Structure formats: structure tokens, C-alpha cells
Structure 1
Amino acid sequence: MSGAFMFHGGRVSEAARLYGGAPEDWLDLSTGLNPSPWPAQAPVDWTALPDPDALARLEAAAARHFGVEPGLCCAVPGSETALRLLGKALALPGRALVPAYRTHKEAFFPSRPAQFGEVPRGQEVFVMANPNNPDGVLRAPEAVIEWARHIHEAGGFLIVDEAFADCQPEASVAGAVAPGFRMIVLRSFGKFFGLAGLRLGFVLGPPALMMLLRQMLGSWPVHSAALALGEAAYGDSAWIAETRRQLPVRAAALDTVLRRHGLSPEGDCPLFRLVTGCEGKALFERLARARILVRPFAEHPDWVRLGVPADPAALDRLGEALA
């Protein structure tokens, strides 16, 4: 098994080279993306530079969706880029909750592990995801905001990565973002809407920080397709509501299949499940031979994360491989 599969999900072409088959033969369960994406339908003018008015409309549509004022919302070319920019903009040492995204640990230097609710020791940046990745732990918004207040009083910042929060909007702390409050929320477009290739995300935070980010990003922070498709998707309330209804049903079906084969799924996010206490490498290899890609972890050889399959046929395929 190549170490590349432990870095992040989505390396289907490399999996095909190593284990056979064409990339289109594979069932990719290595990411936490919605396997039934929003049907991308919006006109895109590729002959013109991205329109500033279109950017303003996108940020306004996203802000309504998140429940914040537009002035607190800045569009970025993906939340990973945003984290790395925030590392430079805030210029403070960082603490990342573990387990966590690799970027949470890389964006701030020096970076040390942290525990949720830990008492800050001064001006530090704490980074967490809610729901968390890869274990899917979902923390109550009241507890997150209370921790943010303690970090604020110590002169630091709390960054809450809500990449998966569209699935469970009641758990979001976006509504608590405010001028003068040192809490920053990151939101991702690609995971819930299933269009990760668009590379679109948002930073929610104090106006002065949003202005600094816009200066760092320059005149055209995201491309024209992201502007058009993002605005249309955030306005599609019917699709959003139906997707929020369907995802937990699919996740429950995945739980049933995993338990049937002696595995114990964990997590509260309906886009993926973590299996612990297994022979991770052996499980990865077995599924790879069946042209199914999942996410292993170098630091946790007894873990495997699986994305939720799109339909019963994909779920049956997984079940047959696990048998």
C-alpha cells in the first residue's frame, strides 16, 4: 500500500495503477464528499474576468445560507487555502485538536496538539473541526462558543472548521461570528454539494480580518464557474432540504452493512464513517482488490474511513467485497 493513500482521499488514478482496472471501474469511498452532487446547472461566461458584482452576490447568498451578515463572509478558493492564509494573517502559534486534518497542524508554526476545552496559555490560535474529521465527533455549539470566549479573553483565536456542517446546520456556530469576537468559522462548498473540484470555500470572521484576507487574495479570489454555480446552489433550497433528509438514511444503511460484517462504525457526520479496532492495512488491501478505495491512516493502523455510498448498488458492491 502506497503512503500516498494515507495523505488524503481521492487518489483513484494511483489506485488503478497499483491494483488494476481503469479509474472509472473504481468505487471511491476515500473522501467525505456527497456522492450524489448538486446538479451543476448555471451559465458561465469563460470569456470575461470574474465579475466583482457576481462575487458580491455569491458572498451574499452564502451568508444567508450560513446565517451571517455579508460583511462577515469572504469567499476563498477552498478552505485549505484559507487556513494557510490565516496562518500568515494571524501570525500566532497554533494548537490543533487531534485527530484532525493534516492542514490544521501545518497551517500554524509552531503547532502543538490540543484538547477540546483546554485552557489557553496566552495568544494562541486553536483549530478544530465540527463535525470532526476523521472520527465524525460532533460537539454542541454552546460548548464551542464557550471555549471561543475563553480563547478570546486570552487574546487568541478559535478557528472552527465547519466543512461538514451543512449536513447538520443546527450544530453550526456561524451565527455567533461577530465584530470584535476572535472566533473564525470556515465553510466548505464542495463536501455537501459534492463538487470538490470547484475549489470554493468561505471564511466567516470579524470585518477587519475579512478585509485583510481580500487584500491577500487579490481581485479574483475564485473563478467564474465558482461564482455562478455557488450562487445557484445556495439558492436551491429544495435540493438542500432533500439532501439533508437523505444523507442520514444512507449513512444508516452503511452502518448496517458494516456491522453485518463485524465492523463497528463511528461518527455523527452522515457523509462518512470511521471504523476502528480493525486490521486497517488488510481491510484496505482487500477492498482495493475489489476496486474500492477507502482511507487508511499511517498514525492509526487500526483505522479506516469510508465515505457513504451513493446508492443501493454501490452499497451492495461494498457488502460483497467485505464478505
Structure 2
Amino acid sequence: MSALPNMGDPNGTPVVHGGDLSAVRQRFPDAPSPWLDLSTGINPMPYPVPDLPPETWSRLPTREQNDALIAAAARRYGVRDPATIVAAPGTQALIQAIPRLVPRSRVAVVGPTYEEHQVCWRRQGHDVAVVSSLDEAGDAEVVVLVNPDNPTGRLVPVEALPPRPRLLVVDEAFIDLSPSEASLAGRLPPRTVVLRSFGKTYGLAGLRLGFAVANPDLAFSLRDELGPWAVSGPALEIGRTALADNAWLDAASRRLQADRHQLDEILKDAGFTIVGGTSLFCLAEHPEASSMIDRLGRGGLHVRHFPHWPSRMRFGLPGDATAFARLRTALDTR
């Protein structure tokens, strides 16, 4: 199992994530406000939050609320047995919990990718290697694949997945807008856990809601690890409503595809090469990426850049015509 360089320090330096404007504001104190944050892969046009009964906020969540959310998730993700679905306060909570439930193992994370995977496995004492492909996972007992990948958007067909190790973890946080056959959730193989995010496609990351689809024994252990009332009452109600709203998801999918096309054209006009992405973000390359980051920062726009890929930048989608125009103006080098 050949390894790439360590992409994160689980014992010290925190992983850098999109959506944190504090450091970039300090770097560009004279930038105009409000900042336009394009550093995340979150739908900028969120699901309209319904009015909730006051007791949703004042009472502990009920089993009936949880069961209704799980039923809605099962229908949305094509899962036959709702007992295999675990609701959590965000997929990050599941990424942290799973390594605590597995005996110390040799773990291969296909990457570079979302760095919390390797950090959380290593924090629990596992032997972690970041490998560039599934073929390089070798004799790893646990294989972690983000599919589609963040930030490249690479999508591995399910038929290309390797024979099962002790555990295969497939993070499908960005798969909602892909064809349904791209997901493993509805045809879960043995020794596999699939993670699904709610907040990204529905634009409600602050709600903190995610799901694991796992074989019954692991699903039971995950529920036990997360403890009672893991998901808040408002998240249960909003998640149930949104996951059942097919019309909204269809309309959002069409709009996001059109917006992604518009984003690509703006970046190409500015000299970028599109190298990957999903319906929610674009990975682009520029020979003068560092100067482009500075140009955007001075204009009050925040994007993701990668120390291990210095020529690449990840752009989330602008939310409206004004935001698109602001990005185009900031990138204009004439």
C-alpha cells in the first residue's frame, strides 16, 4: 500500500475547511463588505425552512419524529430497510464515530480528499495511508472513498469498487444530484457503510443533519455511540419535509446545473482550466493561482485553495445574478 504525503496533522494543526472567513478577513482588512463566500460546496439557494410548532423547540425529540425522518430518508435514498439508516447531527459526527467502533486497522483513504477522514482514523490509533487510487489500497483492512470526490469530483462507478475489506466507507456527501445508480445506498453490500449529507444539497449546513446506511450490526453500534436525541427536533422536522419534496429537488437540480455551467464560462474567460467538480462546486486550475487568490480577496471574495495543489482553486456556486457579476468583475484582469 503506497502512501501519499500526510495531508493533515491530527495531533496539532486543525484541518482547514471552507466557510471560515475569519482568517481571510484579517488578511484583507480593506476588502469590501459583505464578503462573498465561495469556499464551500453548499447550495447557495437553500430549502425554504417551514414554520415549526413551538414545541419542536421546547421538547425533546420523539421516537415518532425520528422514525418519520428515517422513513423519508429511506424513500429519498432508495433504501429498502429503514433499520439500516442512522440519523446523525451531520456526517462529520459519523466520520468521527466510525473509527471508534473498529479495531485498530490498516486504513487506506483514497485521496487527497476531505481531510477529516484520515485525521479521525489516525486520531483513534489506526495505521492510515492516503493512496492515490483504489488499486493502491493493497491489503488495507479499511478503505475510505469519497464518491464523488471532494474536491476533484471524481466519481468511481460502483461496479469498479474492490472486493470488500473488513470495512468499506463510501462518503456520498455530494452524490444527491448524480444518477441514482451511482449510489451504493440502495444496494448496500456486506461490510460497507455509506454516508449521506443533508446540508449540502439542501443548503442548510447549519442544521447539522446527515445519515449513515450500514449493515444492521454497525447501524446499531452507531446509534449506541451517538446516544439519545442525537438529532435535534427542528432538524428532524425540516429534514423530513425537505427529503419528501421531490419538486423542490428537481427544480434545484436544474438550476444548479445551469449555474455550474455559468460559473465554468466565467472561469474560462478569466484563463482558468476546469479540472473537476460536481453540481455544487468547480475545481479549476490557473498558472497564477496565488495572484488570483489575492485579487479575489481584495475584492471581498473567498475561495478554497490547496497547499498541496498550489495551482488549483475550488469555487462554490454564486447564489444569484449579483454574486455572479461580482465574481466576473473581481476576475477581470483587463
Give the aligned partner of residue 9 of structure 2: none
Q: Distance in 1 between matches of 2:117 and 2:155?
A: 17
| Letter matched to residue 279 of structure 1 | E
Give the aligned partner of residue 135 of structure 1: 152
Tell me if the contact between 2:43 and 2:202 (Cα under 8 Å) persists in the aligned partners: yes
| Letter matched to residue 168 of structure 1 | S
Tell me if the contact between 1:5 and 1:11 (Cα under 8 Å) persists in the aligned partners: no
Tell me if the contact between 2:31 and 2:299 (Cα under 8 Å) persists in the aligned partners: no
Deviation at 1:305, TM superposition (A): 0.6
1:146-199 Cα offsets, whole Å, 9 max, x none, are x2xx1x2xx421111000111114321212215xx0111000001000100111
The two structures have a TM-score, normalised by structure 1, of 0.91
Q: Distance in 1 between matches of 2:302 and 2:14?
A: 9
Give the aligned partner of residue 304 of structure 1: 313
| Letter matched to residue 116 of structure 2 | T
Query: Judging changes above 3 Å, is the alpha-carbon distance between structure 1 residues 297 and 120 closer, same or farther for their aligned structure 2 residues?
Result: closer
Give the aligned partner of residue 47 of structure 1: 58
1:93-126 Cα offsets, whole Å, 9 max, x none, are 3111112011121122221022433265446111
SS in 2 for 1:267: strand
For the pair 1:223 / 2:236, whether they are aligned, the reply is no
Q: Distance in 2 between matches of 1:93 and 1:277?
A: 36
Query: More displaced, 168-177 or 183-192?
Result: 168-177
Give the aligned partner of residue 315 of structure 1: 324
Q: 1:100 aligns with which of 113, 125, 137?
A: 113
Q: 1:159 aligns with which of 151, 154, 169?
A: 169
The two structures have a TM-score, normalised by structure 2, of 0.88
Following superposition of structure 1 onto structure 2, how do residues 49-64 of structure 1 map, counting pairs within 5 Å?
49-64=60-75
In structure 1, list runs of 5 or more residues that go unmatched.
none
In structure 2, list runs of 5 or more residues that go unmatched.
1-12
Give the aligned partner of residue 85 of structure 2: 73
For the pair 1:279 / 2:288, whether they are aligned, the reply is yes
Share of identical aligned residues, percent? 38
Deviation at 1:283, TM superposition (A): 1.6
Q: Distance in 2 between matches of 1:205 and 1:301?
A: 37
Q: Distance in 2 between matches of 1:120 and 1:263?
A: 32
Query: Judging changes above 3 Å, is the alpha-carbon distance between structure 1 residues 121 and 302 closer, same or farther for their aligned structure 2 residues?
Result: closer
Give the aligned partner of residue 172 of structure 1: 183
Q: Distance in 2 between matches of 1:273 and 1:320?
A: 18
Query: More displaced, 55-64 or 25-34?
Result: 55-64
Q: Distance in 2 between matches of 1:304 and 1:35?
A: 18
Tell me if the contact between 1:186 and 1:204 (Cα under 8 Å) persists in the aligned partners: yes
SS in 1 for 2:92: helix
Q: Distance in 2 between matches of 1:60 and 1:20?
A: 48
Deviation at 1:42, TM superposition (A): 4.0
| Letter matched to residue 258 of structure 1 | L
SS in 2 for 1:191: coil
Tell me if the contact between 1:13 and 1:23 (Cα under 8 Å) persists in the aligned partners: no
Tell me if the contact between 1:99 and 1:135 (Cα under 8 Å) persists in the aligned partners: no
Query: More displaced, 17-26 or 216-225?
Result: 17-26
Query: More displaced, 110-119 or 201-210?
Result: 110-119
Query: Judging changes above 3 Å, is the alpha-carbon distance between structure 1 residues 115 and 299 closer, same or farther for their aligned structure 2 residues?
Result: closer
Query: Judging changes above 3 Å, is the alpha-carbon distance between structure 1 residues 287 and 120 closer, same or farther for their aligned structure 2 residues?
Result: closer
Q: Distance in 1 between matches of 2:195 and 2:87?
A: 10
Query: Judging changes above 3 Å, is the alpha-carbon distance between structure 1 residues 5 and 277 closer, same or farther for their aligned structure 2 residues?
Result: farther
Deviation at 1:13, TM superposition (A): 3.7
For the pair 1:85 / 2:123, whether they are aligned, the reply is no
Q: 1:112 aligns with which of 129, 141, 155?
A: 129
How many pairs are equivalent?
311
Query: More displaced, 255-264 or 131-140?
Result: 131-140
Tell me if the contact between 1:6 and 1:296 (Cα under 8 Å) persists in the aligned partners: no
